[in-house]
């Protein structure tokens, strides 16, 4: 894997991030160790977990595995916001109290004195943006956190947060984490252009749409008993995208899942997919996507099959020949 900079943080991370959401769940500790070793062998150094993944087991396993292999070689990212203690109304959310207690818990589980990248797991709208940025900056100044990012938040929240941080000399968000795939392109309206303009890294979760884009589901009916029948991704429109994806994969002698990851790199060159795995074989298949090139004609077929309306004001401005989607980056 190649190494790239994460936004303007100066952090050097691998072009695929290893998602540890399966650790302690569908991947026991022994298998998680094999997955991590294979990832490291391929040149990976970037691990993403969260305080509430597999009820905390994910952080504990990542902590033990990283300690055994040399913690400082890894860029470890974790998240706070989700509940860390049942029945306590202050044990979840963006507020400072939950931040402090969740972070201390994560440090203990991960067997480390600092988190390389702490994500706000989800924007909860109860904490003023300025208060959130100040609370995060306090953890950076205390040495518990090196960099901060935010996941699953509107573009205006991220932009306002970084504006306040720049004005006050606080630590800004260096990256966003967003759902992004061939069947979920909404970030192209506001979030991706904002990240371009502000120099933010972009991590894409769900790049294979929970298995939908691996091609293992032939149609909406075939998911019965395997996925939630109410899963919002199980639509006729999305299965038409999968059909186009399969055709392109056949042309390129690759798997649909590999082409789905290659499309993200082609569409958003700075985006880093987060790839989880239940076993080494699954990880190997995803890592092989690095070698998949996507010729322009094949990318065009996927773009057309998965196109979304950009809405106002982008479509109105486009009628006047004004581009809005790939702004020039702001000066550092």
How many CB atoms are closer than 10 A to CB 287? Answer: 22
How many CB atoms are closer than 10 A to CB 294? Answer: 21
H-helix or E-strand spanning residue 262: helix 256-267
- Check 39, 53, 80, 180 and give the catalytic one: 53
Structural tokens at position 39: 């990832």
Our answer to whether residue 53 is catalytic in this structure is yes
H-helix or E-strand spanning residue 231: none
Q: Give CA–CA dist 76/296, Å, rounded.
A: 35
H-helix or E-strand spanning residue 219: none
Q: Give CA–CA dist 79/117, Å, rounded.
A: 8
Counting other chains too, the contacts that 190-195 makes at CB distance below 8 Å and 24 or more residues apart are: 190/154, 190/155, 191/155, 191/158, 192/268, 192/325, 193/324, 193/325, 193/326, 193/327, 194/155, 194/158, 194/159, 195/7, 195/270
Q: Give CA–CA dist 21/31, Å, rounded.
A: 13
3-state secondary structure of 225: coil
**Phi and psi angles of residue 173, each rounded to the nearest 5 degrees, phi first:** -65, 130
Q: Give CA–CA dist 220/223, Å, rounded.
A: 6
Catalytic (active-site) positions: 53
């Amino acid at each position: 894997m190649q190494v790239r900079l994460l936004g303007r943080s100066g952090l050097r991370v691998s072009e695929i991030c290893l998602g540890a959401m399966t650790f302690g769940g569908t991947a026991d500790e022994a298998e998680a160790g094999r997955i991590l070793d294979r990832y490291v062998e391929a040149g990976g150094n970037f691990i993403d977990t969260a305080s509430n993944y597999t009820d905390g087991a994910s952080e504990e396993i990542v902590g033990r595995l990283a300690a055994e292999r040399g913690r400082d070689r890894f860029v470890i990212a974790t998240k706070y916001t989700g509940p860390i203690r049942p029945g306590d109304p202050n044990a979840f959310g963006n507020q400072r109290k939950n931040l402090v207690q969740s972070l201390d818990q994560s440090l203990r589980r991960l067997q480390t004195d600092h988190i390389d990248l702490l994500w706000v797991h989800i924007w909860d709208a109860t904490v003023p943006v300025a208060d959130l940025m100040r609370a995060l900056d306090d953890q950076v100044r205390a040495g518990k956190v090196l960099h901060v990012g935010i996941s699953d938040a509107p573009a205006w929240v991220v932009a306002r947060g970084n504006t306040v941080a720049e004005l006050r000399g606080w630590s800004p968000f260096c990256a966003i984490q967003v759902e992004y795939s061939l069947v979920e392109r909404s970030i192209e309206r506001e979030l991706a252009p904002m990240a371009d303009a502000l120099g933010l890294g972009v991590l894409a979760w769900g790049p294979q749409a929970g298995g939908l884009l691996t091609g293992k589901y032939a149609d909406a009916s075939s998911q019965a008993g395997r996925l939630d029948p109410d899963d919002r991704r199980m639509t006729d429109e999305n299965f038409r995208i999968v059909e186009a994806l399969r055709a392109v994969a056949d042309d390129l002698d690759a798997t649909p899942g590999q082409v789905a990851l290659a499309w993200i790199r082609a569409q958003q060159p700075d985006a880093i997919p987060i790839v989880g795995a239940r076993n080494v074989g699954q990880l190997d298949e995803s890592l092989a996507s690095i070698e998949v090139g996507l010729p322009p004609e094949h990318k065009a077929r996927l773009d057309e099959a998965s196109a979304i309306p950009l809405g106002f004001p982008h479509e109105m401005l486009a009628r006047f020949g004004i581009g809005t989607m790939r702004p020039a980056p702001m000066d550092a």
